[in-house]
Amino acid sequence: EVDQEGNTQYFKTNIPVPLGMCIAENILYVSDADNAVLGFDLDTKEEVFNFPYNAYGNLDGQAYDNNGHLFVVDTYGRIIKINLETGNYNLFVISGLTSWTQDIVFDEANNRLLAVGWIANAPIQAISLIDSSITDYPTSFGYYDGITMDQFGNVYVSSHQSPGRIIRYFNDLNG
């Protein structure tokens, strides 16, 4: 964290393998790759959530649906849905995602998640929050590691495919 004078210090240390993150309701949730999903109060920095989970791959990208659910990517191609109030969870997606799924974002306007994977020519995958069905949107690149959206619904994905790049797709997911 950086204060108003420009002094830098760590927000949190000693997390073995922090990968994906998401902020929901003043809590920073962090995927500790193969151990757990952790939550830290943004004001006190105290750990307030610890969800142990033995992922097949690594726990990575996260998204919050503004309705009490945190979705966490297992890079094996699964998505875990955690009820943040009760701590209960289910495997929301167990198959159909690309290999090495890396990140997800909540697309509120379309009530879905958008996911990207770490493979050549990876599609952007839309996952319905109603029935977890998956729709593929083909792309020309691949090796995606991040995905986000702007206020207009445009989608941005980051790719390590040489040379590294960020690609914007319009809100209908056409280039």
Read off the pLDDT of residues 66-88 as tens digits, 9 standing for 90 and up: 999 999 999 999 999 999 999 99
The answer on pLDDT for 175 being more than 70 is no
Across the chain, mean pLDDT equals: 93
Query: What number of other Cβ atoms are within 10 A of residue 71's Cβ?
Result: 23
Which range, of 1-15, 17-31, 38-52, 114-128, averages the lowest pLDDT? 1-15
Q: Determine the pLDDT at residue 161.
A: 77
CB contact set of 18 (below 8 Å; sequence gap of 6+):
30, 31, 32, 33
Could you tell me the maximum CA-CA distance found in the chain, to the nearest angstrom?
48
pTM summary value: 0.93
pLDDT tens digit string along 88-141? 999 999 999 998 999 999 999 999 999 999 999 899 999 999 999 999 999 988
* CA–CA separation, 147 and 149 (whole Å): 7
Looking at residues 156-173, what average pLDDT do you find? 88
What is the amino acid identity at position 82?
A: I
The answer on pLDDT for 42 being more than 90 is yes
Q: Determine the pLDDT at residue 140.
A: 86
Tokens representing 84? Answer: 């943040």
